[in-house]
Amino acid sequence: MICLFDVFLFLIIIVLLWIVLVLIAFRKEIAAVFERDPAARSYLEVVLLYSGLHAIVIHRISHALFKVKIPLVPRFLSQLGRFLTGIEIHPGAEIGEGLFIDHGMGVVIGETSVVGKNVTLYQGVTLGGTGKEKGKRHPNIADNVVIGTGAKILGNITIGENSYIGANAVVVKDVPPDSTVVGVPGRITKQDGKKMETTLDHIHVLDPIKQSLEELEARLSELEKKVK
């Protein structure tokens, strides 16, 4: 007869195997957590308690099964991951190394999405499709892109490398590399000609409309001075 001690021992073994597996197979993802999240305290905390890392681990398994065309199981694992973490990643999505999902509740990554290396996603990000067309219908996210809280990237578009998508932006067109995008719909703005840091400064993102109005006001002031 199985006793409580045997069950407890089995659970301990499962947890230890999980820790070893994640530490070995997901070194870059763990490194990304420590690099981009100042709240990370220890390897044990990250491996056991970070839902973004858990979602990536589950996706890697479901994606491998999806590629060899095993029916039902990949989607089941995807939904299990959604239930456990609040993050939904379709098993068909291609995810590069070093992905960091911070406070990931509500993140959705669609079937034909392609996510590059060292990408950062924050809470509520959607990489979604538009319409009901078949085939490639989700975005391509290049390397080193940061996508802020609540941003929506929709359709078969490409976000260029080193770009930054501001919080709650809605992007429906291609974005060139080293760009900053804010607003609804998303508009490209410059950050003093410099690439945004991956620390994701939500406060100091420039609004292109505000920039244009300020430039127009400055020109009007110059014209008024000349008239006087």
Residue 50's region, left for phi above 0, alpha for psi from -120 to 50, else beta, is: beta
Q: How far lies 107's CA from each of 63, 98, 102, 192, in Å?
A: 17, 17, 10, 30
| Domain spans, the chain | 10-213
Amino acid letter at 170?
A: V
Per-residue pLDDT of the chain (228 residues; tens, 9 = 90+): 567 776 777 778 887 887 787 777 788 888 889 888 888 888 888 888 889 989 999 999 999 999 999 999 999 999 999 999 999 999 999 999 999 999 889 999 999 999 999 999 999 999 998 877 788 899 999 999 999 999 999 999 999 999 999 889 999 999 999 888 888 888 887 654 555 555 555 555 666 666 677 788 888 888 777 776
Residue 200 structure tokens: 């994701």
Give the helix/strand (H/E) hosting 46.
helix 43-49
Q: Hey, CA dihedral for 60, 62, 65, 67, is it positive or negative?
A: negative
Q: Supply the CATH classification number for the domain 10-213.
A: 2.160.10.10
For the beta sheet containing 146-147, the strands, ordered from the edge strand earlier in sequence to the opposite edge, are 100-102, 120-122, 146-147, 164-165, 180-182, 187-189
